[in-house]
Chains A and B, each alone.
Chain A
Amino acid sequence: MITNISSTFLTRRVAWITLLVIALISLAIVLLPVWIIQPFRPQSQRGLEASYAMRRWAPLLTVMILAAGLMLVLWLWRGARRWWRKALLVMVLVPLLASTWFARQNHFEWMFNPLAHAAYAKTSEAGFVADSDIVMSVESNGEAVAYPVRLMAYHHVVQDIVGGTPLVATY
């Protein structure tokens, strides 16, 4: 009888630790790439490789961890006698849900908002650019296009077709 109680106690303790560890892993999978690939910080080939792998697998991994986490929470919930333990269980779900959601976001596009629908003005009507502003310009088959650097420094990437050539302008 006594051994039975202590083994249940031990199992519950292991379940708790497992739950906390997988919650941390789930957060790490989505937050490490954000930390590694931040602007104004040098990056290494290995760091990029690891980040790429994490971002690639995060959507699947976070869902699997969330499922495992939910099972653990349900199991622990039934045996939990104190209210604060239940509250703690609910709190552990927050990082699990948050990382599952974040794995499905492209946070780079929050920072560097791409131009979804690029629009253009004739040279004579481009009053929004000062003569002293710098533009990047291309010309193909007689078609000339200017991309003002002040706009490119925000969007960073613009897709266009110039004189029949599909191209991407980037800054």
Chain B
Amino acid sequence: MRDEETGSWWQQVTGEAIQGPLKGQHLRPVFHDELTFGLWKREKPDGRVLRPDESVARAGHYAPANWEERMAKVPVATNVNLDKSLDPRTLVVGVAVNGVSKAYPFDALAKQSPIIDEVGGVPIFLVVGEDKRSVRAYERLVEGRKLEFFVKPNANTLTLIDAETGGEWDFTGRAVGGQMSGQQLKKVAVLNDYWFDWKTYHPNTTTYELGAR
């Protein structure tokens, strides 16, 4: 990205200015989610949605619905030495806590959700939504207790149960039943990325292996 005011060039993934007068400066990251629209609109019925530009839409320039499948076939351009255990285009969910980063291959996550883990000394878990696409991560330390979660079987909407209190939690990280009702889990930022890209910006990343824990 280039800013009009100084002409500096900003790296999108890190928010760091890499060339120009503001070189070395960092933009402050804003917490964001990457969700399916169906899930988002149920959570935020009063929100607003970016509209397509009519002329761009008419010209057919916007990405088609199967865009992600197409991107998966684009050759990878990178100078980074990649760990050969993963295909460069493997979809991973990246987490970075206290300078420690870890990549969770999406397929492993989909199979094992929720994944209970600890990154950078912080107990966390990652969970896939009922749409089988959206991923969120939370800290699992509540009132000094380390919680472990599992998915409630046969629930209509995705519901998590913590093994300590048996309380129920929803996908937004709120306790919706039990003695912790009303509690909100602290969100952990995740990045949906390709393995080669995550590795480029997090050279010391480890990867999660299915069933490692």
Contacts and interface: CB of A to CB of B under 8 A. Distances in A.
Contacts of A41: 77
Interface in A79-120: 108, 113, 115, 118-120
A108 B12 CA distance: 15
A140 B31 CA distance: 9
Interface string A68-87: 00000000000000000000
Contact of B49 (A134, A135, A170): A135
B32 A121 contact: no
Interface stretch (B58-66, B117-125, B176-184): B58-66
Interface string B120-159: 0000000000010100000000000000000000000000
B17 to A, nearest CB: 11
Q: Is the interface of B mostly helix, strand, loop or mixed?
A: loop
Nearest to B55: A113
Give the most central of A48, A118, A130, A137: most B CB within 10 Å.
A137
A21 interface: no
Nearest to A148: B50
Given A136-B33, A150-B65, A118 B50 contact: yes
Given A49-B19, A129-B37, A144-B44, A120 B49 contact: yes
Interface stretch (A11-19, A24-32, A153-161): A153-161
Given A42-B77, A126-B49, A135-B35, A154 B12 contact: no
B77 A128 contact: no
A147 to B, nearest CB: 5
A134 B34 contact: yes
Interface string B34-56: 11111011011111111111001
Nearest to B7: A56
Contacts of B51: 118-121, 126, 128
B20 interface: yes
Contact of B50 (A40, A132, A140, A145): A145
A81 B165 CA distance: 98
Contact of B19 (A52, A119, A146): A52
B54 to A, nearest CB: 9
Contacts of A126: 37, 41, 49, 51
A170 B55 CA distance: 21
A113 B56 contact: yes
A52 B14 CA distance: 19
A128 B52 contact: yes
B19 A134 contact: no
A141 interface: no
Interface in B157-174: none
A10 interface: no
17 contacts: A40-B75, A108-B2, A121-B49, A128-B57, A132-B37, A133-B36, A134-B34, A135-B35, A135-B37, A135-B49, A136-B32, A137-B32, A137-B35, A144-B44, A144-B46, A150-B63, A154-B63
Given A52-B20, A154-B56, 19 more contacts: A41-B77, A52-B9, A115-B53, A119-B50, A123-B47, A128-B51, A132-B37, A133-B65, A135-B36, A138-B31, A138-B32, A145-B50, A146-B37, A149-B34, A151-B63, A152-B50, A154-B61, A168-B1, A168-B27
